[in-house]
Amino acid sequence: MPASAGGGGHPVTTSLSSGSGASSEAALSSDALPAGRAPRPPGPRRSATSGDAAGLGRHRAALFVAPALILVVAFLVVPAVWTVYLGATDYRLTGLQAASPQLVGLDNFREAIADPDFRNSLWLTMLFVLGSAVIGQTCAGFALAWTMRSVPKLVRAGIETLVLLAWILPSSIVAFLWVAYLSGQGGTLNALLHTPGTEWLLEHPMGSIIVFNTWRGTAFSMLLFSAALGAVPPSQLESARLAGAGTFAQLRDVVLPHIRGHVLTNTLLISLWTFNDFSPYLLTAGGPNHESETLPVFIYNKALYGGQLGYGSAISFIMLVINLVIALFYVRLLRERR
């Protein structure tokens, strides 16, 4: 049937020609590729703001970040650099060194490392951080947060208010209250324990400031752990309870795996805060006989009270390095968790 063949020949020819054209283009494109590699599908074009969710661009984004960077440089970088410079001088508050300080290089750092009073202060600071932050505030905060889950709302609100009150009060007021509480002459603790005349701040200075700082800083840990425990699925706790798991087993197998990141974050923050805490000075001033002289108190006694600003600055820089080491240790633990 020539008519039908002739009439239907054009579309067939067109489709074949288009098909052969497409195949030839594919062959050309495939010939242009290295052997063994398949052609890559075309991807989206990259724009100037690729990866910028807000579409601001680098320059506008930098303008938003600039105020924060200026504050960081002004209040962190510049003081740190100035501390390093002072630590390399014999600068004092009075005398010839106050008028014309001289560079002494690393002498102040060598003197600090060889100073038994500095090593004693470093040991007392580690003990203070371990006792009042890592153990005291972490355990007390978690215990309160765990206990508050099962008490009536009115009781919970009262306890949380008291704990927060201890945290938000100024350090000077809290220190005055604890001096009166631990006083050997009519102190509240002696009246409760029937131990008249016991001078707790003189006979047990480190124990007193550890308990003081634990009582004062537990509120932060309690709030953080309360929020973390709220994220633990109740169904998993109920399943563990039905399976016969006790409280300890529930904490070990269900709760702690969920809040491990919160525990590390809490421990990092309170460790750094406690390491740099100056409030022990308000209770004992570092005494008696340097028995409660933590590093911040030691720096104050040397740099301001003793006038040795160069030596005190060197110790401050060593303290900054220790803080960085502690922070990097916790950050590494957090990354390993992820």
Instruction: Give the CATH number, domain containing residue 316.
Output: 1.10.3720.10
Asked if residue 315 lies in contact with residue 298, where contact means CB atoms within 8 angstroms, the answer is yes
pLDDT digits (tens, 9 = 90+) for 206-243: 999 999 999 999 999 999 999 899 888 888 888 888 88
Q: How confident is the model at residue 149 (pLDDT cuts 50, 70, 90)?
A: confident
Predicted confidence (pLDDT) at residue 119 exceeds the cutoff of 90: yes
Residue 83 structure tokens: 């501390």
With respect to residue 40, please indicate whether it lies within any of the assigned structural domains: no
Backbone angles phi, psi at 48, to 5 degrees: -65, -25
Structural domains of the chain, count = 1
Greatest alpha-carbon span in the chain: 127
Contact of 245 with 160, CB cutoff 8 Å: no
Q: What is the mean pLDDT of residues 130-138?
A: 94
* Among 8-22, 149-163, 264-278, the least confident range: 8-22
Distance CA 37, CA 135 (A): 60
Residue 37's pLDDT is 52
Write the CB contacts of 148 (distance below 8 Å, at least 6 apart in sequence): 156, 159, 160, 222, 226
Of 226, 313, 231, give the one whose Cα is nearest residue 266: 226
Domain-located, residue 24? no
Give yes or no for a contact between 256 and 240, defined as CB atoms under 8 angstroms apart: no
Contacts 24+ apart (CB under 8 A), 119-125: 120/290, 120/293, 121/290, 121/293, 121/294, 121/295, 121/297, 121/298, 122/295, 124/206, 124/291, 124/292, 124/293, 124/294, 125/275, 125/294, 125/295
pLDDT in tens, 172-205: 899 999 999 999 888 999 999 999 889 999 999 9
Is residue 250 in a domain? yes
Mean pLDDT of 18-33: 44
Would residue 177 count as lying in a domain?
yes
Q: What percent of the chain is modeled with pLDDT above 90?
A: 50
* pLDDT for position 54: 61
- Residue 19 resides in a domain: no
pLDDT digits 0-9 by tens, 280-333: 999 999 989 999 999 999 999 999 988 999 999 999 999 999 999 988 988 888
Per the model's pLDDT, the better-predicted residue between 91 and 42 turns out to be 91
Distances (CA, A) of 54 to 44, 50, 60, 68, 291: 19, 10, 10, 19, 56
Question: Is the model's pLDDT at 6 over the cut of 80?
Answer: no
Summarize the confidence of residues 16-27 as an average pLDDT.
Answer: 43
| The token pair that represents 322 in the structure block | 């220790």
Would you say residue 203 lies in a domain?
yes
Taking each helix axis as running N to C, give the angle between helix 116-129 and helix 107-114, from 0 to 180 degrees, rounded to the nearest 10.
70
Residue 17 resides in a domain:
no
Look at residue 27 and tell me whether its pLDDT is greater than 50: no
Q: Are the C-beta atoms of 70 and 293 separated by less than 8 Å?
A: no
Is the pLDDT higher at 304 or at 9? 304
Is 96 inside a domain boundary? Answer: no
Domain around 210: 118-337
- How far is the first Cα of the chain from the last one, in angstroms, to the nearest whole number? 75
